[in-house]
């Protein structure tokens, strides 16, 4: 076949995006040319998501489209770990692996290159977390990137199958993460977004090592080391464990951004119990108040599920009351969807799809006014903004309150000499329910 050109399609969450970049790195180390997408390539690698049914449908559609363009398609990611779904739909794919399998994907592509059809598709259930990998293909802009600090999860929420797909928690060592962060900053990265299935639990597996080599492996100690390395460190998937309180002083000292992405899922004690999630809404509210007293500009993002089996109007009212009091800055609200293999599928009192959508609309309507009020507090003030793109006469960036793709943007009156990746001071002149507007302070 000659030198193989490999296209990579990455679906799902930022954690999968990190996996895709690791795959590209492994392929690049083997001498393959890698590009994003499936046009004009010899082999397509589709990194799938298999978390909920719509994600499975999207993954299957992408595999189908890849096969229409290339006879050599390698499927990896979470959907590859779900039995024979891919093989049953597409028996002609070249190989199937589970998530976090860059070495197996590279092996599959090598076998295609040499026309050796002896590759045995396998599903890796033991997370492998390489340290610093050679950068071959970046799937994010050059000025920000996601850094995965651990893989897998030790929890058993009834709506989730992540432990089945990605295994139990396995953390990178603090030294490996620090080296990776330093390498990223040397390459021009200004913002590092820490991701994992459970960022707050980082290091618990390392600390249990009887050799005692990583007693400092916890998220607070890690952030203390990372803070001086990159201009912006942003935390995602932080669950409200007690030690999260110790992150707040680091935000006050500007070591990490004043931003917490904290998926709470619900506020009703009954629903949280059914989900096997911590049921302590009042305690969470008290901590929010204390955190905001210490860091007034703290942005809290969260996600919630409506329509979980057994959810009543009273449960939704409790969620609305919680949101009104918590004044969460950024919110994602999703309707419950059965996940193959999840325990919640067997629960009684399933909620109709129409009712789920009505409840979602109600929650988003409540949140719109909350978000608008929270953003309005920035108007008239000056704050740092990282520039994501130049759009004609306008600059588009993000404040410390905005993560890429999921939050709002800042629209800025364009000025010369400012480009993508620059961090500039902006006076915010207006806001709406999602975005800020401003001009650069010169």
Identify the structural domains of the chain with CATH numbers, from first to last: 5-113 (3.40.50.12160), 144-376 (3.80.30.20), 382-440 (2.40.50.140)
Distance of alpha carbon 90 from alpha carbon 81, whole angstroms: 15
The predicted pLDDT at position 371 comes to 95
How many angstroms separate the CA atoms of 143 and 104, rounded? 29
Q: Helix 219-226 crosses helix 174-186 at what angle (to 10 degrees)?
A: 30
Dihedral class, residue 147 (left if φ above 0, else alpha if ψ from -120 to 50, else beta): beta
Write down the pLDDT at residue 56: 87
Contact 137, 169 (CB under 8 A): no
Please tell me the distance from the alpha carbon of residue 380 to that of residue 225, in angstroms, as a whole number. 34
SS3 content of the chain, % helix, strand, coil (to 5): 35, 20, 40
* Pairing, β 5-10 against β 43-48: parallel
The β-bridge partners of 259 are 299
Whats the size of the chain, residue-wise?
A: 442
Per-residue confidence (pLDDT) for residue 426, from 0 to 100? 96
The DSSP output letter for 245 is: G
The dihedral sign for the CA sequence 345, 350, 354, 359: negative
**CA-CA distance, 384 to 190, in Å (whole number)?**
13
In sequence order, the 6+-apart residues with CB closer than 8 A to the CB of 261 are 235, 236, 237, 238, 301, 302, 403
CA-based Rg of the chain, rounded to a whole angstrom? 22
The pLDDT score that the predictor gives to residue 212 is 62
Q: What is the pLDDT of residue 208?
A: 79
Q: Which of 211, 202, 140 lies closest to 173, judged by CA?
A: 202
Beta bridge partners of 9: 46
Distance CA 160, CA 158 (A): 6
Q: How many CB atoms lie within 10 A of CB 60?
A: 19
Query: pTM for the full model?
Result: 0.85
Q: Which residues of the chain have pLDDT under 70?
A: 1-2, 83, 115-137, 210-213
114: left (phi over 0), alpha (psi -120 to 50) or beta: alpha
pLDDT at 135: 56
Tell me, what's the pLDDT at 116?
40
Q: What are phi and psi of 360, to 5 degrees?
A: -60, -45
Q: Is the dihedral of CA 286, 384, 395, 194 positive or negative?
A: negative
> Rounded to 5 degrees, what are φ and ψ at 396?
-120, 125
Measured CA to CA, the distance from residue 134 to residue 364 in angstroms comes to 42
Determine the pLDDT at residue 210: 58
Cα 384 to Cα 297: distance, rounded to the nearest angstrom: 12
Q: Where would I find the H helices in 12-127?
A: 14-29, 53-69, 85-89, 102-113
Supply φ then ψ for residue 96, to 5 degrees: -135, 130
Q: Phi and psi at residue 279, in whole multiples of 5°?
A: -115, 85
Residue burial 338-373, b: 16+ Cβ < 10 Å; e: rest: ebeebbbeeeeebbeeebbebbbebbeebbeebbee
Closest by CA to 205, choosing from 150, 126, 160, 165, is: 150
């Amino acid at each position: 076949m000659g030198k193989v050109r490999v296209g990579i399609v990455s679906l799902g969450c930022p954690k999968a995006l990190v996996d895709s970049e690791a795959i590209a790195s492994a392929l690049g180390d083997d001498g393959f040319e890698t590009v994003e997408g499936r046009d004009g390539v010899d082999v397509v690698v589709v990194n799938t998501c298999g978390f909920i049914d719509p994600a499975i449908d999207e993954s299957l559609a992408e595999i189908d489209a890849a096969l229409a363009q290339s006879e050599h398609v390698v499927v990896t990611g979470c959907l590859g770990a779900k039995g024979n779904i891919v093989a049953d739909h597409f028996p002609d794919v070249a190989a199937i692996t589970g998530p976090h399998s860059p070495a197996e994907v590279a092996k599959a592509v090598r076998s295609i290159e040499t026309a050796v059809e002896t590759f045995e598709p396998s599903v890796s259930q033991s997370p492998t977390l390489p340290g610093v990998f050679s950068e071959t293909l970046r799937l994010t802009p050059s000025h920000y990137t996601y850094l995965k600090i651990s893989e897998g999860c030790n929890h058993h929420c009834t709506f989730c199958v992540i432990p089945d797909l990605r295994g139990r928690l396995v953390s990178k060592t603090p030294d490996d993460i620090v080296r990776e962060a330093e390498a990223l900053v040397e390459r021009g990265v200004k913002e590092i977004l820490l991701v994992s299935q459970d960022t707050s639990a980082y290091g618990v597996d390392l600390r249990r090592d009887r050799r005692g080599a990583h007693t400092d492996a916890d998220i607070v100690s890690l952030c203390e080391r990372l803070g001086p390395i990159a201009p912006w460190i942003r935390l995602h998937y932080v669950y409200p464990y007690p030690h999260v309180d110790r992150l707040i002083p680091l935000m006050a000292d500007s070591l990490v951004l004043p931003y917490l992405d904290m998926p709470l899922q619900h506020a009703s004690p009954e629903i949280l119990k059914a989900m096997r999630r911590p049921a302590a809404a009042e305690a969470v509210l008290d901590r929010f108040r204390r955190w905001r007293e210490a860091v007034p500009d703290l942005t809290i993002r969260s996600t919630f599920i409506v329509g979980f089996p057994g959810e009543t109007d009273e449960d939704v009212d409790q969620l609305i009351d919680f949101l009104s009091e918590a004044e969460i800055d950024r919110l994602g609200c999703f309707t419950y969807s059965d996940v193959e293999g999840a325990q919640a599928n067997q629960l009684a009192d399933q909620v109709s799809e129409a009712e789920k959508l009505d409840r979602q609309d109600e929650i988003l309507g409540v949140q719109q006014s909350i978000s608008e009020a929270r953003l309005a507090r920035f108007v008239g003030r000056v704050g740092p903004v990282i520039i994501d793109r130049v759009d004609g006469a306008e600059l588009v960036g993000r404040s410390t309150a905005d993560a890429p793709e999921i939050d709002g943007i800042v629209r800025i009156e364009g000025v010369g000499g400012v480009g993508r990746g620059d961090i500039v001071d902006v006076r915010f002149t207006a806001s709406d329910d999602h975005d800020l507007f401003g001009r650069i302070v010169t």
